[in-house]
Amino acid sequence: MMDFSEYTLVSFGDSFTFGQDTVPMYDTSDYYPNTDKDVSPKQNQWKKDCNEKSYTQVLVDKMGFKDSLNFGVGGASNDRSMSLLESFLRSNPKKKVFVLFNFTSSSRFML
């Protein structure tokens, strides 16, 4: 079996990758629309909790990766994920990564 202890698992995909619905949505009544604070502390915590229960994190825990980055976003397209992947790899040429690319519906497209 491969030793992943020096690798970061980098995951790209849609809401399934993100971990949506793994925890209930928190009350976001303290959302700050149209200000420089786009995301409330509760929303940040919800995102963190979803990522911690995602299958990306399950793989990290089971396979012994050093770390993980979850680029999953609800409604994401394959084009968006591919663009993020390319940008990430160009920005981190020396980082030891294992890429998990989760394909979504081919009918989705990047706006």
Please write the tens of the pLDDT for every residue from 10-21. 999 999 999 998
Higher pLDDT, residue 107 or 87: 87
Q: For 22-68, what is each residue's pLDDT tens digit?
A: 988 877 565 555 555 566 788 888 899 999 999 999 999 999 999 99
CB distance 53 to 17 below 8 Å:
no
Place of tokens 């409330």: 40
Between CA 71 and CA 75 the distance in angstroms is 12
Q: For 78-91, what is each residue's pLDDT tens digit?
A: 999 999 999 999 99
pLDDT given at position 9: 97
Between CA 96 and CA 22 the distance in angstroms is 28
pLDDT interval class at 1 (50, 70, 90) = confident
Dihedral angle over CA of 59, 99, 92, 96, nearest 10? 60
Q: What angle do CA 57, 58, 63 make, to 5 degrees?
A: 100
- Residue 75 zone, left/alpha/beta (φ > 0; ψ -120 to 50; rest): left
DSSP state of 106: T
